[in-house]
C-alpha cells in the first residue's frame, strides 16, 4: 500500500468534490459541471479514477453527461456528485449529495452523511462487513429511511475501482472482515423508496471487460484508460468513437454501465469517503 499516493489522491478528490458541490446550481448544465470537475482533478496533478457521476433524484448512480445532452439542474433536484482521483493508479472515491435551491430533502441527505460518520467511528481491524452494514441500516432507519440493498461500498486496488471486497448497506450476515492494509470506500445510499435499484439505459460510462489480446484501436484505448471506467466524452479524439463504443459493447470487449434507479417517485441520497486501515489508525483520505 502506497499511503503517500493514496493520501494525495484523497486530498485532490476532497478538493474536487467541494469545488463541484459549489458548481451545482439551478440552470447549470450537467456537462459543464462534469468537465470542470475533471479538469480540476487533472490540473491538480491527478487523473480522474472514473467519470464524474451526476445522478439526479431517483437515479442512484452511473450517469455521466455527454456533450450536447442539454440536461440542466432544476430547482428541487437531489444531485449525487460522485467522483474519484488517482495518482499512479492509487484511487480516491468520494461523493456528496446536493439539493438544488430547496431544503425538502435535508433529512434524507443528513441520514446518509450520519450513517457514514457512524461507520467511520466504528471502523477497527477485524470489524465485519455485516457490522458495517448494520450501522448504516440502523442509522437510516432512525431517520425513517431505507438503505439501498443492492448497492455496496467496495475495496480499492491499484487501477481497480471495485477490488474484491463488497461492503453492504445493511446487515447481510457476512463474516468477511476488514483488515489492516485494506483500502476501501464506504457509501451509504439512503432512500424513501423500497431500497432496491433497477438497471436503466446506459449512462455513458464504459470499462474494458476484455483486457488481453486486444487489437487495433481497442488496444490503444486500453493503454489510455487501463482497467478503470471511462466516459464516452473522453473518446472524442478517436474516429467514429460512438460506433467504436457500440461495437465494443456488442462484442463483449466493453461494458456499458447502466444507470441505477429507484422508482420514479422516490429520492436517493449518497455520501462516500475513502478509508485506509493500518495497524495503528483509520485514515479517511477524502475528509
For the stretch 157-206, pLDDT in tens is 999 999 989 999 999 999 999 999 999 999 999 999 999 999 999 999 99
Residue in 225, 217, 277, 224 with CA at minimum distance from that of residue 241: 217
Three-state secondary structure call for residue 274: strand
- Please tell me the pTM assigned to this model: 0.96
pLDDT in tens, 160-174: 999 989 999 999 999
What is the model's pLDDT at position 1? 78
pLDDT in tens, 109-155: 999 999 999 999 999 999 999 999 999 999 999 999 999 999 999 99
- Across-strand partners of 86? 47, 91
Across the range 235-262, mean pLDDT stands at 97
pLDDT in tens, 23-53: 999 999 999 999 999 999 999 999 999 999 9
Residue in 25, 26, 48 with CA at minimum distance from that of residue 38: 48
The catalytic residue among 107, 110, 162, 163 is: 162
The catalytic residue among 187, 256, 262, 273 is: 187
The catalytic residue among 77, 99, 262, 272 is: 272
Dihedrals phi, psi of 69, to nearest 5 degrees:
-80, -10
What is the model's pLDDT at position 8? 98
For cell 456528485, the residue is 81
- Across-strand partners of 208? 254
Across the range 2-20, mean pLDDT stands at 97
Cell matching residue 224: 489510455
What is the model's pLDDT at position 143? 98
pLDDT in tens, 193-245: 999 999 999 999 999 999 999 999 999 999 999 999 999 999 999 999 999 99
**256 annotated active-site:** no
- For residues 167 and 129, what is the distance between their CA atoms, to the nearest angstrom? 5
**43 annotated active-site:** no
The catalytic residue among 82, 99, 114, 171 is: 82
Across the range 248-267, mean pLDDT stands at 96
**187 annotated active-site:** yes
The catalytic residue among 62, 86, 154, 273 is: 154
For cell 481497480, the residue is 160
**82 annotated active-site:** yes
DSSP 235: G
Question: Which residues does 165 contact at the CB level (< 8 Å), separation at least 6?
Answer: 129, 154, 155, 176, 178, 182, 184
What is the model's pLDDT at position 67? 86
What is the model's pLDDT at position 76? 98
What is the model's pLDDT at position 68? 86
Ordered alpha helix ranges (H), the chain: 3-23, 30-43, 106-122, 129-143, 216-225, 241-250
pLDDT in tens, 70-94: 999 999 999 999 999 999 999 999 9
Amino acid at each position: 500500500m502506497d499511503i503517500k499516493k493514496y493520501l494525495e489522491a484523497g486530498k485532490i478528490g476532497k478538493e474536487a468534490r467541494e469545488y463541484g458541490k459549489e458548481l451545482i446550481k439551478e440552470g447549470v448544465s450537467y456537462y459543464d459541471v462534469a468537465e470542470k470537475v475533471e479538469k480540476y482533478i487533472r490540473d491538480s496533478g491527478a487523473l480522474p479514477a472514473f467519470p464524474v457521476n451526476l445522478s439526479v433524484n431517483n437515479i442512484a448512480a452511473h450517469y455521466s453527461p455527454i456533450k450536447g445532452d442539454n440536461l440542466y439542474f432544476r430547482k428541487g433536484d437531489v444531485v449525487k456528485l460522485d467522483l474519484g482521483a488517482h495518482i499512479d493508479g492509487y484511487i480516491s472515491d468520494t461523493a456528496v449529495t446536493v439539493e438544488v435551491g430547496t431544503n425538502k430533502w435535508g433529512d434524507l441527505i443528513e441520514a446518509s452523511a450520519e450513517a457514514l460518520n457512524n461507520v467511520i467511528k466504528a471502523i477497527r481491524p477485524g470489524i465485519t462487513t455485516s457490522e458495517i452494514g448494520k450501522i448504516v441500516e440502523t442509522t437510516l432507519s432512525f431517520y425513517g429511511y431505507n438503505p439501498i440493498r443492492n448497492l455496496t461500498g467496495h475495496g480499492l486496488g491499484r487501477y481497480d475501482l471495485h477490488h474484491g471486497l463488497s461492503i453492504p448497506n445493511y446487515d447481510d450476515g457476512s463474516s468477511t472482515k476488514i483488515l489492516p492494509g485494506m483500502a476501501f470506500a464506504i457509501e451509504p445510499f439512503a432512500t424513501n423508496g423500497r431500497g432496491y435499484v433497477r438497471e436503466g439505459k446506459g449512462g455513458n460510462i464504459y470499462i474494458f471487460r476484455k483486457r488481453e489480446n486486444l487489437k487495433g484501436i481497442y488496444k490503444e484505448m486500453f493503454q489510455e484508460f487501463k482497467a478503470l471506467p471511462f466516459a464516452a466524452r473522453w473518446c472524442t479524439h478517436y474516429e467514429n468513437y460512438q460506433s467504436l463504443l457500440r461495437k465494443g459493447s456488442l462484442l463483449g470487449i466493453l461494458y456499458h454501465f447502466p444507470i441505477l434507479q429507484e422508482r420514479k417517485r422516490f429520492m436517493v441520497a449518497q455520501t462516500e469517503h475513502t478509508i485506509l486501515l493500518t495497524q495503528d489508525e483509520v485514515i479517511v483520505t477524502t475528509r
